[in-house]
Chains A and B, each alone.
Chain A
């Protein structure tokens, strides 16, 4: 299991708003673990997808110099369940941002369940807060290098910007 919970960015307005999508697949082992015969995407992982979308948005706004860590979830409210075959969108907007951290408002929507977008596409509404842990209030010490933004997260952003589309 890789800890990569978004597949690609579809929108990235630096410091303001980012939208990413994820294809939910039956080949993801964990969807079969909780309720066999009724594969389901755990809502906790949908929160993570939003956190990754928002975390990269917050990180990029300060040139990935801060260690951006999820510190608080004010509210995460779910109104529908996500299943394999669903295409899900994570839409994150920055509410506040400073050297200590950031607060984000996010909406998760079902873009398609294979048959098109359903009538009530909202999956969840989420309020998150990130802490820039080197500047944080609790006074803990961390490794110097930025372990949060290595490789994969910045690569997702590069792919959005450069949009490589190999054809055969």
Chain B
């Protein structure tokens, strides 16, 4: 499957799951910040991606857990250097620079972009 084909299918999934228009889906668009995704939508998106690409997405791959409530990783509402490292390890395909620039916990949502999803899928379907 080509990168374009993957992107197109991911776009379709996001339009169905989030009720947004085709033209709102851009690689740099963040699912929560730009496309209005809420937590239940991540599960919906995961189900639809699994079906569209005939893959299984292990728990924690798209939305890593145990980060924000761990005092080793987050102190006073900000990611520690150790925490930022952990985020990068758990989400190797994400662009963590927005979080490095401003390590407040709420900025973690900036990592969940259309591009991150596309890259993740590409890594699973080859």
**Inter-chain contact A137/B51, CB cutoff 8 Å:** no
Closest A residue to B51 by beta carbon equals A96
**Inter-chain contact A137/B42, CB cutoff 8 Å:** yes
Closest B residue to A69 by beta carbon equals B40
Interface size on B, residues (CB 8 A): 16
CB contact between B47 and one of A95, A99, A136, A138 (< 8 Å): that residue? A95
**A139→B65 CA distance, assembly (Å):** 10
**Inter-chain contact A96/B69, CB cutoff 8 Å:** no
- Min CB gap B106→A, angstroms: 14
Question: Which residues on the B side are within 8 Å of A85 (C-beta)?
Answer: none
Give 1 or 0 for each of B20-59: 1 = CB within 8 Å of chain A CB: 0000000000000000000111111011001100000001
| Contact A96/B40 with A137-B63, A139-B69 known, Cβ cut-off 8 Å | no
Among A134-168, those with CB < 8 Å from B are 136-139
**Inter-chain contact A129/B40, CB cutoff 8 Å:** yes
Q: A11: CB under 8 A from chain B?
A: no
Question: Which residues on the B side are within 8 Å of A103 (C-beta)?
Answer: 44, 47
**A95→B43 CA distance, assembly (Å):** 13
Question: Which residues on the B side are within 8 Å of A42 (C-beta)?
Answer: none
Knowing that A71-B40, A96-B51, A98-B59 touch, tell me 18 more A-B residue pairs with CB under 8 angstroms: A71-B43, A74-B17, A95-B47, A95-B51, A96-B50, A100-B43, A101-B43, A103-B47, A129-B43, A129-B47, A131-B40, A131-B43, A136-B39, A137-B39, A137-B40, A137-B43, A137-B63, A138-B39
Top 5 nearest A-B pairs by Cβ distance? Answer: A96-B47, A137-B39, A71-B40, A72-B40, A138-B39
- 26 A–B contacts, CB within 8 A, in A order: A72-B40, A72-B44, A74-B16, A74-B17, A74-B44, A95-B47, A95-B51, A96-B51, A99-B59, A100-B43, A100-B46, A100-B59, A101-B40, A101-B43, A103-B44, A103-B47, A129-B40, A129-B44, A131-B40, A131-B43, A136-B39, A137-B39, A137-B42, A137-B43, A138-B39, A139-B69
